[in-house]
Amino acid sequence: MRILGIDPGTKVVGYAVIEIIQGKIVPQIYGAIRASGKENIPERLKQIYQGITEIIQKYHPEVVAIEKVFCGKNIQSAIRIGEGRGVAFLASANAGLAVHEYDATRIKKSVSGIGSAQKYQVQSMVQAILKLPVQPEPADAADALAIAICHYQHSCIPHF
């Protein structure tokens, strides 16, 4: 099973592809798409869409997991968050991939055992789980790895 985890955003989008090989989680790629063009939102969304599409075409994930967002500083920022999510959903749908959403508490709990874990704790736990020589950077990439790991655990253990 190959899982693409996406930590959506309008400027920086974390991504990670993990593969489950004989029950072991093996990261294939992880990193962040950094969209340029500060004020040009359509252009930024185009870069995000293209970036996700390229990862899908290159690493052939079978399913996509994405963080469910409940909060935002205000309505305007929530709309902007939604715009980034919209193109991530679209890139997945256009590749024929199902998308599963997980809320932040569940994602954090799946890697650290604590739903309220801090960003650095998520990074440390992801590093430990995947036996990486260094912490995954940037934090958006670590989050995307955590999202993919969360989907794997969720798909393995019913009612997780």
CB of 84 or CB of 136, closer to a copy of itself: 84
Q: Which residue has the tokens 């955590």?
A: 146
| 67 given a catalytic annotation | yes
Is 49 near a copy of itself (CB under 8 A)? yes
Rounded to an integer, what distance in angstroms lies between the CA atom of residue 152 and that of residue 105? 16
Rounded to an integer, what distance in angstroms lies between the CA atom of residue 123 and that of residue 75? 29
Q: Take residue 80 and report the two structure tokens written for it.
A: 């902007």
**Among the listed residues 21, 43, 115, 119, the single contact to a copy of itself using CB under 8 A:** 43
**Among the listed residues 38, 57, 70, 133, the single contact to a copy of itself using CB under 8 A:** 70
Q: Which residue has the tokens 């958006």?
A: 140
| 103 given a catalytic annotation | no
Is 75 near a copy of itself (CB under 8 A)? yes
**Among the listed residues 35, 87, 107, 148, the single contact to a copy of itself using CB under 8 A:** 87
Q: Take residue 79 and report the two structure tokens written for it.
A: 């709309």
- Residues near a copy of itself (CB under 8 A), total: 29
Q: Take residue 126 and report the two structure tokens written for it.
A: 């992801």
Angle between helices 139-156 and 104-112 (to 10 degrees): 80
Active centre residues (catalytic)? 7, 67, 140
Q: Which residues bind a copy of itself (CB under 8 A)?
A: 41-43, 45-46, 49, 69-72, 75-76, 78-87, 89-90, 92-94, 98-99
